[in-house]
Amino acid sequence: MKPQKKLPRKFYTRDVHTVAKELLGKFLVRKIGRKHLIGKIVEVEAYDGSVDKAAHTYGGKTKRNEVMFNEGGFLYVYFTYGMHFCSNVVTGKLNEGKAVLLRAIEPLGGLDKMALNRFGKKDISTMELKNLTNGPAKICQAFGIVRSENGTDLAGNEIFILDSSKLSENKIASSTRIGIKKSVDLPWRYYIKNNSFLSRK
């Protein structure tokens, strides 16, 4: 992968759906010591607390969701089902309460560290590779993202997203979101068509 520029703050402070679709094909990077864990974002979901009952911000600001009320460009990490972390990219202006859930990533760099984080071993099968980062909790586990990463500035050097060419609309598909019980009819899941690392085909 040739060197790419880090996404600037202004990328994130736009409309949540614009950011969600344009995050597809970009590269999530986690720096741990001298090692870089890298993956291409292939599936996301948009959440908008102003109209979306499934968004954590729908009922207003709390200690748990306050990071999601930041301006765009911060990482919102939450704990769910008493066992998993999920990571979201905050979007929009200050106090809007909007974010994009990272649902699936195509792993590209630092695979041995990701595999160790997920499976406790460096050598993994083809099937285990497919399952390495094809879900929001799997991404956090593979990338070592936990509660202490909540609020991380994506303009910093620990966790950030690198730019890439914008995908054409015909390469992107949308559907209703997965695993929610409210606002289930909103078609706010966006993904790269025919990618092998989607959380759900």
Q: What is the pLDDT of residue 201?
A: 77
Residue range 85-114, pLDDT digits in tens: 999 999 999 999 999 999 999 999 999 999
Share of the chain above pLDDT 70, in %: 98
pLDDT at residue 3 greater than cutoff 70: no
Does some domain include residue 199?
no
Does some domain include residue 160?
yes
Q: How many domains does the chain have?
A: 1
Does some domain include residue 198?
no
Does some domain include residue 201?
no
pTM (2 decimals)? 0.95
Q: Outline where 2-135 has alpha helix (H).
A: 9-12, 16-23, 111-119, 126-130
Does some domain include residue 3?
no
Angle between helices 111-119 and 136-143 (to 10 degrees): 110
Please list, in sequence order, all residues whose beta carbon lies within 8 angstroms of the beta carbon of residue 137, skipping any fewer than 6 positions away.
80, 84, 85, 86
Does some domain include residue 154?
yes
Residue range 20-38, pLDDT digits in tens: 999 999 999 999 888 899 9
Owning domain of residue 150: 9-192
Share of the chain above pLDDT 90, in %: 88
